Each structure stands twice: as structure tokens, then as C-alpha cells.
Structure 1
Amino acid sequence: MSSPLFLPNLDVVHPFLWILMLVSVVAGSSVIYVSSGKPLYGFMLPVLMTLVFWLFSQDQDIATLLGWIDVAYIALLIVFRRRYQQVMLQAQQREKYLQKQVEKGQIHEKKIILHQDILQDIAVHHGDLKRVLVSVVGRVESLYPDMMASILLLDDAGKHLVEGAAPSLPEAWNKAVDGIAIGEGVGSCGTAAFRKERVVVSDIENDPLWSNYRDAAMGLGLRACWSQPIIGVKGSVLGTFALYYSQPRHPLDEELDWIEYMSHLIAIAIENAKQHTALQRLLRDKQELSEVIEQSTDYIFKLNLKGKVIVCNQVCREFFTGDLEGKNLFDFLPREQVALIQLMMQKKLHDGGTTRYEIRIPDQTGLLHDFEINSSLRMDEGKAVGINAIARDMTERKDFERVMELRMQAMNASHEPIMILNDLGLIEFANPAAGRLYDVPYTSMIGKSAASLRKGMVGDDLYRHIIDTIHQGETWVGEIVFYSSEQGERTVERRVSPIMDTEGHVHHQICIDRDITEFKKQQQKMEHTQRLESLGVLAGGIAHDFNNILAAVMLNAGIAEKSHEPERIQVCLQRIRQGSERAADLCQQMLAYSGQGKMAVGALSMSDVVCDMMQLMEVSIHKQVELVYDLPSSLPNIVADKAQIQQVILNLMTNANEAIDEQQGQITCSTGTCWMDETQLSNAWTDDGLPAGNYVYLAVSDTGCGMDKVTLSKIFDPFYTTKFTGRGLGMSAMLGIIRGHHGSIQIDTSLGKGTTIQVYFPVSKENSADNIDAKSMKKHTEQASCPAKENFNMKGKVLVVDDEEAIREVACAVLEDMGFDSIQASNGEEALQCYSANMDEIVCVLLDMTMPKMDGKACLKELHRLDPNVKVLLSSGYHEEELYRIFDADKLEGFIHKPYLPASLEEKIVSILSP
């Protein structure tokens, strides 16, 4: 059997080994080609088979031949394996390329679907930008699961970015960037909006643009941010579209293209939403304008050039009865008005522009209305096709203007100066009379302050008083004095009333002045004449009162002279003392009447005051008149001046006595308490504003002649009297006393049936005396309780200075009883001589105020010049506060009011000289 050249001749024993050899070669080749990285196993099989073959054959040549065959085989296998790997690598690369193309196709398909979905969202939800932006962000994030998208919008000012949509970003981050200002170095988005270009930050930790936001971003797991500005059609920045990653990452070109592409879609969504909003606003404005036109009280209509009504509003239809659209307006107008309108239309076609004219048109009833018409041409492609017109019914305005013109003429014709001021006190209107009063052209007064006319200033005390009054809704009435270069000093009575809006706010003032200079002069002359005429009445009344007092004093003195009973003499002396005190009180009232007195208020019981005056009243009325008293003992107190209340009681009793005259009759004097409400107080003679509450009343009723309505209406007029016998200080003065005590008075009278007069005073409250208009005393009159007389060493001389000898004698007697030596002087000059001679011994000076040669004021000054430490006790019948306006209070040690009791003088002396 012949063999191939490369095989030796084998025995019949060896065929099986050759078969195994071939199998090993095939198996080794298969292992090498199949193995992905372990060719050693493929090489080992033929080598092992060669060894096995050699072992069986024991032929060295065959083994060598097989070895070379293995080497050649292995070399071929290596060459074939490399080629195979190259082919397989190319196949794998092709497979990957195809896979990427498939993935890109899928992504592209998704992008196309995303594009369609976004455009559909924009079309369907164009009015809800927030919803569209959230949908865009959600769809973008669905393509890239490891990415978080954000849309920020630029505000209207173009300065700040606000949240648009970022559902996947941490809420803390959304709050942190909401409202950030755009600018260089403001992260990715702020910088991108500022630069108007894309900003890619691959690593937030190391990028300087994030220096101010790095910690916050990294703390929330944000490591990369690519931001694309959203640019509108006109090139303006609308916002930013950004992609965030939790790891540092650099974008691929296709990703950057995708970001830019998405920003264009978002720009479409934003601008579409803005256009939708603008369109909705336009439609709403159009609807509102249509409603305004329809509801307008002006007559609005559109006409063609022949007068046919195209459109009109409701008031037009109501005025012309029915639907006007499609009808000719000229058919509803008088012929002469149609001619006027046609003439105006021709003029408008020629001149163009807007035309204003007035016409009179009758309504359905034939009543003529004044209309003001404003019309303009309606153009279409440069050609006039009709007229737009607005007509306003001016009938009421014309009537109002005529009324205002009449009022203006009346104010200008008025002889009373009239000014209208704004809320700042500046003059907005002045009539000619105002100019004549203030010697200036009335037209030049406009814009000036009313205060300047009186040479005052805005904000001074008078101005504030006026403003405070009118802002309370009240009219200020007062007098002002100014100097005119032509007329001299003028006195003006001014009334300033507020002009308020519906809410009660003062916006203007009306000021009416009246020159009362001559009236004041005439009034002063008249008052002087009336006062002179009233002196007789007053003297008679005072004489009447003093006669009553002196009668009681003389009667009691006569009884005391004849009586030998000490108790009866003591009673008479007590009555004499009471009468003297009443006379002193009457003198004090005369001082008050002359303006030199002052109220001394305190808590009083009305019943007690009447009881104290019973004796005096009983000797003051006619014997035919019966006195009846009803005086409860448990009345609440009132706060009043006792002397003035006594004067009121005496006046009422005297008037009642005179009303009965010398006929038989009865006078009833009663007191009590009652509740007075606003209605009752409004029906009484009183000041406005007395509050409802409990009042103490004094009622005096008589069975005399009564009064008619004429007499009753004049009873409180100054100096009014129906008799020349006098009425004390008069009802006018009595009313002043009552008002000064915040009281009121009611009169019930009937001619021929008598009169009842009731006087009401408010019940005293705790510390009410502090609320009456009484000033606190001077520090040197506010003395504590005096030291006991027996504990006081009374030595030295007291200089008594008075022009009345009787007063000097009595005062010296009291002082000598106290233990002092006394020196007398009848005037200021003698007092200075006596003091100079006895300066070291005189411990006190009792000084009268009114004296001949040198009065008390001049004497006091000289005494202090001689001795600055001199102690002076001033004595006078004038009220203390009146004297302190004349004297230097620091130069006086005290004051004692004439007439005074011995005990009062002793108390004052002890108070002054006590250590």
C-alpha cells in the first residue's frame, strides 16, 4: 500500500493511531477556533496524540516527522486564529454599530413622539403654561432617567429668574433659586440668561460660576448642570432650560443639540402662552368695553354716510323708542337739526378729525334735550365709510350751570365778604366784597392763605382752633382784628363752616366775614348807655337787699339792747353776725359783677343753704306773703360757690315777692333731686351738651301775676326789667351764674296764675370740686393748720395801715388782745415813716390796698426797699387772685379778705409769724 509523501509507511497495526491523530488535529483546531481566549488546550491535543503515537510505534523518525507536522500545524493555527479574531472583531463592531443605530433610531423616534406630544400640549393647554412646562420636563426626563430637568422663567423686569417647572429637583433647591438675579457668576442658569448663551458646567465642585451656590448644590446631590437660555422670536431671553446630573458629566454634541432644540420648543410654549394671555385679555377688554358702551349713559352710535344706524347702545334705543339698528337717524330728528347734522358731516368729510357741536333733540314726549356731540370719521382702507359719534345729554348740566352762574352772581353781588378755602386754608374763591374789606384786588387773593389776610400764619393758635372746630363738623364763629392801611384797625366777625364729603371728611371751608367795626363802636356806646341807665336799677336792687339786711341787723340789735336774758342776747348777736356775713357776701357779688371777683367753690347742700337764709328772706318779703318750705335734709351735695347760690336764691325770692306785689299770696321754696334726660335739658335755658343724669333742683313758686310770652322771651336779656324797683343782679346775671355751674333753668308761667322757676345743678361726684374752674391757691396761702395760739410767743409791734379809722381801731384791739403792741398809719406815706422809725421792733405789717396819697402797691415796694425781709399781710375787699395779678406774690406773706373776723386775723398773724 502506497502512502502520501508526508506520511511514512505504516504497518497494518497503526491505522487506528492515524485515525486518532486526525481526530486530535480536528479537535484541536475546533478548540482553538471555538475558544475565546485559551488556545493552549487546542495545541495540547495534537502534541499529546503525537506522543501517544510515538509510544505505540517506538519509531523515532515517525515521531520526528509528527513533531514537525505539529509545529507547522500550530503555526498555521496561529495565523488562522489571528485572522479569525480580526473577522470576529469586525463582526462585533458591526453589531455594536447596528445596535447603536437602532438605539438612535429609537431615541429619534421617541424625540419625534416627544416633539409631537409637546406641540399637542402647547396646542391643547396653551392657556396653562405651568402645566405645559411640567409636561415638557416630565417627557424629557423620561428619555434620560439619570437626568433632572429644570425650566426657569425671566420675570417681566428682565432681572430675576423665577420657578417655571422642576418636579424632580429637590424642593429646597427650587426655593433657593426662585427669584435669583441674573448675572455673571450666578450658577449656570443665571449666567446663561445674562450672557444669552449656553453654559455647561461638568463639575459643580470645581467651577467658579458656582462659587456662591456650590455648597447648597452639592449638599443636595447636584454635581453637573448644563443650561441653555430660552430665546424668543425677537431675540429676547424668556428663561433657561437646564439639565442636572448627580455625577460630574460632560455632554455629547448630540445632547447639546437636543438641549438647544428643546429650548426652542419651550420658547414656543412660553410665547404661545403669552399670546394666549394677551388674546384673552384683549377679548376680555373688548367684552368689558362692549358692556361699558352698552351700559353707558352717553349716547353711542355708528352711522354710515347716509345716516343709517349701524350700531347703537341701550340709551339710544330707549330715547328714540325701540331698535334703531338699520334705521335712518334723520327720521327721528327735527328738520332743522337734520340740516345741521348733514352740514357738520360734510364739513367732517372735508376737514376730517373730530368735531364737537351742540344740538337740541326732542324726546318721545317732545321735551327738548341739550346734547353735546363728539364725532369722528370711520375709515376703511383710507376711505371714509361712516361716522362714530358720542352724544352726551347736557340738559341737567346746563340747568346746573345756570344755577351755579346765578349763585356766583349772587355771591359776587353780596356785600358780605365770602371766601372758599381748601383743606390747607388756601383761598380758592373770593368775591369782590372780600377784596374791598381787605384792601386788595379780590382776584389776587386766590392761592393765598386766609390767615395772611389777618397778618397771621397758617398753624398759629387761631388757625389750629378754627381747624379743630370744623374738623368736628361744627361752625367756628369768632372775631378777628386786623389793620388796614386805608381803613385802620378793623374788627371782623368770621364764620367758618366745613364742607364735607359723604364720608364726613372736610375738604373745603366756606368763610363769611362781616365788618363789625362800626357795630362794635355803636354796641359799646349802647352798652355804656344801658349800663348808666341800669345803675339806677342796680342801685335800687342793692339798696333793697342792704335795707333788708340792715333791717334784720337793726331789729336784732334793738332786741339785744332791751333784753336782759344772755341767751336771747346771744341769739340776736348771732343773727347780727349772719346779716353782716350776708352783707359781705353781697359785696363780694358786686365785685364779681364788676369782673373783680372769683368763685370759691365747695360741696354744698341746697337745703342747708336755703335754711341759712330763712331769717333774711323772712324779713325781706311783704308781710302779706306766706312762705312755705319743702326742704329734704338728705339731698346729695352740689359743687358750687355758696355766695352765688345765695344770690340766685335771693333773686328768685325777690322776683316772686315783686310778682305778688303787696297782695296776699304764697311763695313756695322747695328742693329735691330728679333725673334729667336729653329731651328735658333741651327744653331748658342751658348751654348745649349737658349730659343726662341726676340733678339737684331748687324750685321757687309764687301766686303772683305771671308772665306773657313776650316778657318770658326777654327775661334773660341784659338789663331787661319790667319794674324800676330792681331785681338784685337781674335774671341775666343769674343765668350766667347757673351756666357757670353747668346747670340749667326752667320756667313755667301763665299770665295771672303765677310762676314756677326751677334751677337744676348736677349732683356732685367725687373730687368734683377739682373740676370746677377754680385755680389752686398760691403757695403762701396754702398754709397747714396754724400753731395753737397759747403755744405762740406774741411779742413785738404790728404796723396797721388802713385809711378807715374804725378798721384800724378794731384790728389794733384784736392784736393787743393777742399780746402785740400796735402802731397805726392812715396811708402809705405814714406807714413808711412809722416803719423807718420802728424797723427793729415791727414784726409784721397789716397793709390795706386802696389808700390816699400812697396806695398799698407803692407802699409795699418801698417797704421791701427799706427791709427785704419785711413780713406783710395784705388786706383788701378785692378777691385774692385779682390782687396777685397786681402785686408780686413773692413779696407778700399772706392775704386776708375784708371784712374779716377777729379769729381770722389771729389765724393769719399766727401763721405768718410762726417759726
Structure 2
Amino acid sequence: MNDLEAQLKLEIEKRQKAEQKFEELDGVLNMLTAGDSLKATLGKLINFLESKIEGVRCSILLLDNSGQYLIRGAAPNLPKSYCDALDGFLIGPNVGSCGTAAYKNKMIIVNDIETSPLWADFKGLALSHNLKACWSSPILNINGKVLGTLCPYFSERRSPTEQEIQVAQFTAYLAGVAIQFKGGEVALKESESRFEKLFGQLKSVLEGTSSETGEGFFRSLVYNLALSLGMKYSFLGLRKGETIETLALWAGGKFEDNIAYNLKDTPCEIVVKEEKACLILQDIQIEFPEDQLLIDLGIQSYLGIPLLDSFGKAVGNLVVMDDKAFANNVTAEIILNIFASRAEAELTRREIENESFEAKELAEKANRAKSDFLARMSHELRTPMNAILGFTQVLAMDEKNPLLDYQKENLGKVSSAGNHLLRLISEVLDLSKIESGNTDLTLETVDLVPIVDNAISISQAIADEKCITIKYENIPECSYLVEADPLRLKQVILNLISNAIKYNFKNGSVSVSYEKLMNGNLRIGVKDTGFGVSDSNKDRIFKPFERFHKDVNTIEGTGIGLAISKQFIELMGGIIGFESDVGEGSFFYMDMPISEKVSLPIITEYESVIDGSSLDEGIRRKKILYIEDIPANVDLVQQILNLRPNIELLSAANAIHGIKIAQANSPDLILMDIHLPGMNGLEAFKELQALNETKTIPVIALTADAMTIDVKKAIDLGFHSYITKGVVPLSVEIEQCLTPL
């Protein structure tokens, strides 16, 4: 996993945790506004806290009307005898964690009850109930008055984490809200309205703004934050070096344009650089006399909290300010934390989105570069190989200068080795295209029968060498039409038949079958009587470069043919699979959906050498122009045409020269290389089509490229055909173009 992927994973995990937290808080807010009794509501709050902190058992104690005694509120999971003993005890400066927290109005953390002086008079009671640590937070009303205490207990000595302190304080805050709602202390409609508004604003952060993103989200957040705390100014900013740039700014009842300001000598410097909250409730200008923004706005109170990324580093801040003093800092800090968590999650989402976009751009750029590389390699590797194979075919076709038997044998070996190398090049390039997601398929309605017939015909010579019989298990009685790329489909069938021959015993057999399945698919099967595949190797059969037969070094191949075949069949909507037994053979099959389209005419491919005499009658006194920059290729075509009397070959090494020759000589056929210096073959074709003298001349693309997308480009432009350089297909195309109708 690279650094970007690791960072994205961390950011996504933080986003998921934040969203889970918001769902939990939303549930708590819904619980507080439900119609439950105060005791039931406090019990639910305790359950909420106990679900957040491992190993805790909690109680909530309420301060009586005199403000001196703590009485039982709720403690669903503490021993009843312990709760009974503490019901109605006097608060004071050294009365355990709870009594001291209520008396001093601050959180009291006791990690070890047995050794704490605060618990000197109560440790026997606590230890007898296996309670060894207690952290207590005061529960306050909206004016900061103590209403009771929240008391988490542990059965082991325990120090809180920063996150656990925040959870406990937040639960205490919610308990204060619940007590005021449920207990009837807030009797005035104005106070009720204020709390209802606060709930609405908190829920807006947890729900409403979650559907927004970007600027809309940040504006909604600072607006609701200002209303929640009754503050005049609110903004969210991101750190850019030594400055803060606001993303949303609420000021005195309206949104203002975003600003950028220097951190130096401002309270924001503490928030961002020291990564801690800065809560100054009054007279802030005394502490920061150089902050011109505070002076211009007449700011008296400032509450700021850092916004952290997934690594705990401050990336910005969330701030509220007012031109008057602020009273309740405990409530404010809790609310700020809620809003900050939501803001951090949105910043995380935005960062992931930006990084994902950048990663996508980089991936697309890399894929484009890989595609260009594959296209170049396809051309550079195939061009010399096609020339070698072309000259071997010319030598074999030359009836005027026939070869001796041993020369024919040697030439056959050259041709066989060359074709093998060409197949390896094609397979490696195909695998690279598949892995980069650049596979080009052209789906059309094709008849399987002639494709399979042709594959068997091509494979027959190899089978004869090993004395292997190829036969049909059931002869097809009709055409079987499927939606497929005919070139890739033939490649897969050839691979299956070739493997059935290669991994077979001498005098074995290969049988091909057709079967219509109940699900509407057509199964084409290739069965052999060969070596078979062991159970331990079956899961490796479609993995690239896997070759596990004991005689693997004596069998030609790369081990990627089946991997490529599987990808091609699946991209065409089919399924490929196999069954095999060691020593008995294998049955490979592919299931393809049967097409509902009307049958197309069967196109027979030419695999045998064309007799020159048949061409002579139809192409006398014809001119062919070959635009090609590689002399060896021009020489090859010249030698091919030397076998065809009365054909004149014109040639040009670049497109500009070729167009001029075409205008001056009006050739009957143009052979066009695609990769030409300067103007390429596709551009040259457009120029020819634009000229009256040349627009009707058929043009054949003759190139080493075998990329499907290149073929499609040429055919879409109007090329007569597209040939990946070879003697036999070129001879066929010349005959089709020049023979009179």
C-alpha cells in the first residue's frame, strides 16, 4: 500500500467514526426530547456513557433544593446497597469524588480510591463493593449552577484518556439539559424556547448539514454555531502557512466575504499552533492588544477550538466571538466540540474527494501513458516480426524459383518460430492491456460455427505433429449466434484447442462440442485425453504465468493464455470453466449468451496461399501506391506483387509525398501505413478523401498495430480494411479490391 492509499484509508476510517458518533449523538438528542420520565432519561444517558467507556458503571446524583445534599437520581448497574448508603449525603471539599465535584463545581478525577484523601471516610464502603476509581463531573444548568454530579466508577485503578473525559463531560452536559426539561426547573416559555432552539441547531449539525457539502455546509455550520451560543460572530478557517483563510464567516446577522489574516499575536495562533482550545470570556483585547480585527469589531469574548486531521494535526480553527462578555464556558466548549467534530468530518470528506480526484487523474494519466506505450510496442515489436514472416511466405510462394526440400523444412522452422514469437508478443501485450483496464472489445453478432471450424483448421497441423485427432463430438446443425468480439473469441477458442493438443498424450484426441443450456446460454466445450490437472493446482489454472506440469519446460507457452481467455470471455458477458482428472484429461468450456439478433452472413477467413494466376486476370495494368517509411516493408510488398504480373507498385516514404503521387497517378489501390513521420496515416486518409482526384480510391491500412481501438478508428474513418501486415491477408484484400465485379 502506498502513502496515498494509507492516508486515504485513515481519512475514510476517521470519516466513518465521525459519522457513527453523529448517529449516536442524534439518538441521544432524540431521547432527551422524548416523553420519558426524568429517571428513565437519566438511565438512558448512563447506558450511553457505559457503552462508550469500557468497564465503567455510572450513577447520577441530584442536588436537593437546599443545594447541600446529593440524592439518588439513577444508577442502573451499581449495587443497590451502595446507592442506598450514599442517598442524601452532604457535599463538601473532601467528600469523595461526587461531593467534592458538586462543592467545587469542577471535575474531580480519583484514579485510586484506596489512597485518595478525598475518600478517607468512604473508601471502606467503596472497596467493599469493588469500586476502586471514580471520576466525577458536575452537572450544570444553563447559567452554570450545579444541579448534581455524574459519577463513573471502575473496579480497577484507572486514569481517563482525553477522549473519555470529553465523553463524560458531554454526558454531564446532556444530563443537565434533561434535568431542566424533565424536572421542570425551566418554567419560563422563553427558556424552553431557547433549549428547543438549541436542540434544533444541534440536530441541524448532525442531520441537516450532513446532506450539504463544501461552502453550503460550512456556511450552515457557522450560522447554527452562532445561534447555539448566542454569539454575534462565527467563522471556520483553514491554516495556510502563517495565515488563516476563512471558508465561512457569519457576522452580525449576515454572511460576509471570506478573509485571510495573519496568525501572529492573535488568539487563533494559540488555537492552531498549540492545538488547544482558547476560551476567553471577557476583556480579550487586554490579552491580545495587537489583534486589529478584535479592535475593529470591538470583541470582548472569544471561544476557539482547533480542527484536527486524522493524524491529530491542527489544520484550521472554529471560532465564535462577541462584543460582550460570555458566561457559560463549560456548555460552550461542549457545543464547540460537537460542531468541530462535524466540521472535521466534512474537511476529511473534502480532502478525500480532492485526493481521490488527483489520484484518479494520475491513474488516468498513467493509463494513457501505458496505452501509448503498448501501441508503440505493438508497432515496434510486430513490424520486424511481420517482415520476417512475410519474406518466408514470399519464398514459399515463389513457384518460379522453387526451394529444395531441406530449404522448405528450414523455412518452415523459421516460420513456426516466428509465429510462436508473434503469439507471445500478442499475449504479453494483451495481458498488459487487461491489467491497465485498456482492453478494447468490439461486440457484434457473430456465428460461432465458422469461427470454431477455422480454429480447428489452423490447429490441425500442430495436432498432426503429435498424432492427435481433432473431431466434433456433435456436428452443429445450425448457426449459433452470440454477441462477441470475433477476433478475441477466435483467440480464446484457439487457445483452448492449442492447450488441449499441447498437454495431451501422443495418439490422443481432442473433441469439440456444442450444447444449449437451460439458462439460455450456449456452451462450447473442448475435451482432451491428456495429462489433466491435479486438485492442488486447479485454483491456479487461470492465474497468469502459472505452469505446473512436470514437462513444462518442453512445452511452448507463457502460461498467460488461459488468464487472458478468462478476462476476454468475462468482458464479453460469458463464463469460462473446466473439469479435470489427472491422467484422464480435461474439459474446458465457455458459456456465451445466445444472441437474439438476425443471423449475419458468415465471413470465411483465408488461411491458404492465394494462387497468383487467379489474380492475374482481374488486376492487369493496375497501379498500387504503398505509403510506408520502412524500406524493408516496401521491399516485401514489392516481392509479393512480383508474383502478380502487370501490377505496378508506386511507393512514398511519407504522407505528403504519397498524396502528391496519388493525385498525379490515380492508383487503383492505396496501401497506407498508420505510423508515418510527420502526417500520420489517419490524417493522410482525410486529406485523400478531401481531394476529388483521390476520394474514390480504396485505401487499405497496412500496419503492425493490432490494437482494437486503432482498427476501429481506421474503419470508422472509411478505410476499406485494416490489415496487420501479413502476406496472405494482404493478397486476399488486393484481390477483393482490384478484381472487377
The TM-score by the shorter chain falls in which range? 0.3 to 0.5
TM-score by length of 2: 0.44
TM-score by length of 1: 0.37
Larger relative CO (CA 8 A, sep 6+): 1 or 2?
Answer: 2
